[in-house]
Amino acid sequence: MESSSPSSAEFDVFLSFRGFDTRNNFTGHLQKALRLRGIDSFIDDRLRRGDNLTALFDRIEKSKIAIIVFSTNYANSAWCLRELVKILECRNSNQQLVVPIFYKVDKSDVEKQRNSFAVPFKLPELTFPGVTPEEISSWKAALASASNILGYVVKEIR
């Protein structure tokens, strides 16, 4: 995608996903399919745990579309949850298109933080050491909000 001005989006799509769950299957195949169709997508394969999130947030801001792949372990990752909050901020402020995909998870579990989406929040001080209660609340609100955006449910690999 060519950029016509510095404020233009640099990427067509930003992919938010839990690498442990989907990097080598669903999300990997999705990114390949997007690229085969000439769609620029950003996947955080060069950023590692503990890296500064500023660069990642910049990529989110510079994307036209954000695809969120909710999977079993998505809510176990502070990184994913911070991405989610930033994506929703961009949706509200920049009218970024957001497409949630519920990969082998129930949409209502994401919305209501049940089952695998409840586990990390039972003892958040252990799951997310050093994270404030306010940030935990913002993550829960973001999960509920994102689950109410029109998206796709993928129950099994086809």
pLDDT in tens, 26-65: 999 999 999 999 998 888 765 555 556 788 899 999 999 9
**Any idea which residues carry the catalytic annotation?**
83
Q: Give the pLDDT mean for 14-32.
A: 89
Separation between Cα atoms, residue 19 and residue 80, nearest integer Å: 10
Query: In the predicted model, what is the mean pLDDT of residues 109-124?
Result: 97
Geometric angle at alpha carbon 153, from 118 and 91, rounded to 5°:
75
With a cut of 90, say whether residue 76 has pLDDT above it. yes
Ordered domains of the chain (ranges, CATH): 11-154 (3.40.50.10140)
Please, are residues 118 and 105 in contact by the beta-carbon 8 Å criterion?
Answer: no
Provide mean pLDDT across the span 93-121.
96
Do 102 and 153 meet the contact criterion of CB atoms below 8 Å apart? Answer: yes
| Residue 133 CB contacts under 8 Å (≥ 6 apart), including other chains | 124
Q: Give DSSP secondary structure letters for 30-67.
A: HHHHHHHTT--EE--SS--TTS-HHHHHHHHHTEEEEE
What number is the average pLDDT over the span 126-150?
Answer: 97
Instruction: Grade residue 1 by pLDDT with cuts at 50, 70 and 90.
Output: very low
For range 116-132, the mean pLDDT: 95
Per-residue pLDDT at 138:
98
Average pLDDT over all residues of the chain: 88
Say what the pLDDT of residue 2 is: 38
Asked if 2 contacts 9 with a C-beta cutoff of 8 angstroms, the reply is no
With a threshold of 0.85, does the pTM exceed it?
yes
